[in-house]
Amino acid sequence: QVQLVESGGGLVQAGDSLRLTCAASGRTFSAYALGWFRLAPGTEREFVAGIITSGGSANYADSVKGRFAISRDNAKNTVYLQMDSLKPEDTAVYYCAARRWAGISTHRNDYDYWGQGTQVTVSS
C-alpha cells in the first residue's frame, strides 16, 4: 500500500515557475514507477510526466517537454515536478500516481495509487 500526498500548487502568472512535491508512505517506494497527471475542466485526466524506479529515465507529454522536469528522491520517498515557463493552458489539478512496475506508462489505468491532487492556476 502506498499513500501519496501532493503539495506545492498555487496561483501564478504566465512565465512563472512552480515545484510540485509528492510525498509517499511505504517502505517500497523505490519499487514503484511514478507519474504526474493533470485534470483540467472539461477534459480527461492526462499524462504529464513519468519516471522509472531508479530515476534514471523519464518521459514527458509533448505539451510540457522542455518546460517541466520530473525527478525523485528514493531516500526521501518523494517525487517532484519542476514546472517552468508556465502557460494558462497548464491550469489543472495535478495528481501524483504510482504503479507497481519499474517502467513508465502514459495510461492512467496502469497506475495503482493516486494522491488527492493539488491545484495549479496560471493567469495570463
Q: What percent of the chain has pLDDT over 90?
A: 90
Centre a 10 Å sphere on the Cβ of residue 37 and count the other Cβ atoms it contains: 24
Q: Is the pLDDT of residue 113 over 80?
A: yes
Q: Is the pLDDT of residue 52 over 90?
A: yes
Task: State the pLDDT at residue 27.
Answer: 73
* Segment 66-77, tens digit of pLDDT: 999 999 999 999
Task: State the pLDDT at residue 9.
Answer: 97
Q: Which residues pair with 81 in a beta bridge?
A: 20, 70
Average pLDDT, whole number, for the chain? 96
Task: State the pLDDT at residue 8.
Answer: 98
Task: State the pLDDT at residue 71.
Answer: 98
Cell, residue 65: 517537454
Q: Mean pLDDT throughout 12-39?
A: 95
Q: Is the pLDDT of residue 102 over 90?
A: no
Q: Is the pLDDT of residue 17 over 90?
A: yes
With a CB cutoff of 8 Å and minimum separation 6, the contacts of 123 are 11, 12, 13, 14, 88
Task: State the pLDDT at residue 62.
Answer: 98
